[in-house]
Structure 1
Amino acid sequence: MASRTMFLIQLYLFSLILHSSFCDWASEWMAPVRDHLTNKYSPPNGPQPRGVPGVNYDAGIFDEETERVTNIYEPESLNMEASQPNYDISAASLKSKLENSLQTAKLLTETLKMQINALTLKEVELKEAIANGRSGVTALTVSSMGRLPRTYLIRDGYWTRCNGMVQPPPSDQTKSFFNEINIAPRCIGQEVSSGPDPCVFNSITKYETIPTYRRLEYYEEDYLCLKPTFNSSMEQYLSVPKQLVNETCSNGVIRTLTENSIECGIRTLADYTYYPQRSYTSLLPLEYCTEKDGSCRLIVAWHISNTTIENFEFLKNQPNFKKYFIRANFVEQVI
């Protein structure tokens, strides 16, 4: 009986030792897996003890009421898909921003064009008033290569030639209605009625015409349409009949290139000084009139030859340009 009892005790101890060894081996074998899951789902401060409500451990959440662990493990592929940005939404947002930027740029461009056109119209209006002496008086000095300088007074489109010198109005006069007649320049000398100077024009159209009859050597004739109005571009017609020249130059002077060179030389400079009437100053864009006496300066210069046609315009005095453009000795005292 004692031997049997001793045998049972030894069998129990052996079973206990075997069970403990097996648990330690399983725990050691499963430790990497447990550590991987614990590190992945635990907070940065490390794993929390079991039994704390809402604490993440071993890829689960412990519920205090049910004393159960809810598995929150998800496949890694699903987590990667959730963490990736939505490129479709980003592309649509970028496209919308670019379209808004382009629309804003278009509106700014149209506004700038409108402002440039309005400014150009104001400049043309002022230049037309200066060249015609509208609502005031214009003193004009014409210098051309091949001829002596000429001086004119222009009042509302009516030209007179001053055979002498033009005296500008005094700059220190009081602003009074009775002094209105004294603000205009005067001719000190003989003032005679005249037409527009044949060498003064403000825009040009060049024609290369077809010969009217057969020649041994073919060449085209050059005709110019010299117009009194201002135009921002110099037009040109190539190889047209003479009839088209007559039809399209109804408001200008038709002249051949040779005739223009003989009469005016290849360079002509018109120097305008405009004195507007004070009662009409609000009707004209006079912000360009920066002279001390309140006058407006306009310089229109042309270089016309067989090879080139050039135009220069300045809404202010440019003495250096005038000295460069006209180099004849007899105009030194004038410019």
Structure 2
Amino acid sequence: MIILLLILIIQQSCCNWVSEWLTPLEMQYKEPSENQFLDQNKWSQQNVELSLAKDSQDVMDDLLAVKLKLVSTLKSAKELADTLKKQIGDIEIKERYLKEAIAYGKSGVTTVNVLTTSRDPQTYIIRDGYWYICDGVVQNSIASENIFREISIPKCIGQEIPSIRDPCVFNSIIKFETIPTTRRAIYEEDNFLCLKPNFNLTLEKYQSVPKQVVYDTCKKGSIKSLADNLMSCGTRILADYTYYPNRKLPTDLQEYCTEIDGSCKLIVAWHLSNSSIENHETISNDKAFKRTFLKMGLFKQMKV
């Protein structure tokens, strides 16, 4: 009996010791309670929110940097475009001034050969807007190897006869299709041309306008009907200018005169017909252009 009691006491003591020793381990590894899940989810959610907030701020910072860089690039592009626009404008002004000087013989002397499809070629000398026909031979300057040479000017070996500006030479054109003033069996508009001595960048056209618009628009040009112009000049007109500048021409324009004798070349050519009006213009002496546009020596045989 005593032995059984002793065994029971020992067993009870062992159970209490094992229970005390294993309880912390059991608490550590047993399944988490609902409160523990809530705490862990709250902690995870806070971490996610912090991470998202950090990522969002990084994205905003990147977008702001891109925006600032884009604004800077657009500003630089606008400044460059404005600079190029100004430079192009300056060049256009110089080019137009030079073409006007060539066509009018300003600050120099110009010789011009006029070729059309309806009459013989004509050669003129132009000084300060005044036209002369050379009754003889025009002798152009001969290039010199001396770099200190003066640019010589062409001379008429013969008699210079004052002349009006060649009616077949013009530097820009406006075409009008006007409402007929008299009744016809078939409605057909009349074609009129405003031939202007100054250079325009584009070919202007007016369609279905009263005749008064022609007079109001063409105050600094000559008005001709398309039929009259074709009869007197033909469908193709070519003016081949050679310009010899003097010291009065600005230096920055004289550098365009790159011919061996220091002259400038300008070719202005027009094709006029009932169906089309075209302008061809170049500052260089392009012989291939002249051959393509108007066959020299065959101008009378070309059909209108």
Question: TM-score, with normalisation over the residues of structure 2?
Answer: 0.83
Cα deviation digits, residues 60-104 of structure 1 (max 9, x gap) = xxxxxxxxxxxx997111111221222555545444443443333
Shift of 1:271: 0.6
Shift of 1:19: 3.6
Give 1:290's match in structure 2, choosing from 258, 263, 282: 258
Structure 2 residue 272 is matched with structure 1 residue 304 = yes
SS of the residue 2:92 aligns to = helix
Cα deviation digits, residues 192-212 of structure 1 (max 9, x gap) = 221211110001111222222
Q: Which runs of no fewer than 5 residues in structure 2 stay unpaired?
A: 34-39, 300-304
Q: What is the letter of the counterpart of residue 221 of structure 1?
A: D
- Cα distance in structure 1, aligned partners of 2:75 and 2:111: 49
Shift of 1:155: 1.2
Q: 1:258 to 1:245 in 2, by over 3 A?
A: same
Shift of 1:139: 1.2
SS of the residue 2:170 aligns to = coil
- Cα distance in structure 2, aligned partners of 1:10 and 1:149: 141
Kindly indicate whether the alpha-carbon contact (under 8 Å) linking 1:208 and 1:222 is maintained by their aligned counterparts in 2.
Answer: yes
**2:283 aligns to what?**
315
Structure 2 residue 84 is matched with structure 1 residue 112 = yes
Q: Which runs of no fewer than 5 residues in structure 1 stay unpaired?
A: 34-71
Give 2:208's match in structure 1, choosing from 210, 223, 239: 239
Q: What is the letter of the counterpart of residue 112 of structure 2?
A: L
**2:122 aligns to what?**
150
Give 1:325's match in structure 2, choosing from 284, 287, 293: 293
Cα deviation digits, residues 94-146 of structure 1 (max 9, x gap) = 44443443333333322222222111111000000011111111111111112
Q: 1:218 to 1:28 in 2, by over 3 A?
A: closer
- Cα distance in structure 1, aligned partners of 2:274 and 2:41: 91
Question: TM-score, with normalisation over the residues of structure 1?
Answer: 0.76
**1:52 aligns to what?**
none
Shift of 1:29: 4.1
Give 1:81's match in structure 2, choosing from 49, 69, 72: 49
Kindly indicate whether the alpha-carbon contact (under 8 Å) linking 1:271 and 1:300 is maintained by their aligned counterparts in 2.
Answer: yes
Aligned pairs for 1:141-290 (under 5 A) are 141-172=113-144, 174=146, 183-277=152-246, 279-282=247-250, 285-290=253-258
- Cα distance in structure 2, aligned partners of 1:198 and 1:247: 21
Kindly indicate whether the alpha-carbon contact (under 8 Å) linking 1:202 and 1:300 is maintained by their aligned counterparts in 2.
Answer: yes
**2:94 aligns to what?**
122
- Cα distance in structure 2, aligned partners of 1:24 and 1:102: 68
**2:16 aligns to what?**
15
Shift of 1:322: 0.3
Kindly indicate whether the alpha-carbon contact (under 8 Å) linking 1:126 and 1:284 is maintained by their aligned counterparts in 2.
Answer: no
Shift of 1:6: 6.4
Q: 1:2 to 1:123 in 2, by over 3 A?
A: same
Kindly indicate whether the alpha-carbon contact (under 8 Å) linking 1:151 and 1:163 is maintained by their aligned counterparts in 2.
Answer: no
Q: Which runs of 4+ in 1 moved over 6 A?
A: none
Kindly indicate whether the alpha-carbon contact (under 8 Å) linking 1:151 and 1:165 is maintained by their aligned counterparts in 2.
Answer: no
Specify the structure having the higher radius of gyration (Cα): 1
Kindly indicate whether the alpha-carbon contact (under 8 Å) linking 1:288 and 1:316 is maintained by their aligned counterparts in 2.
Answer: no
- Cα distance in structure 2, aligned partners of 1:14 and 1:216: 131
Task: Give the CA RMSD over aligned residues.
Answer: 3.0
- Cα distance in structure 1, aligned partners of 2:122 and 2:257: 24
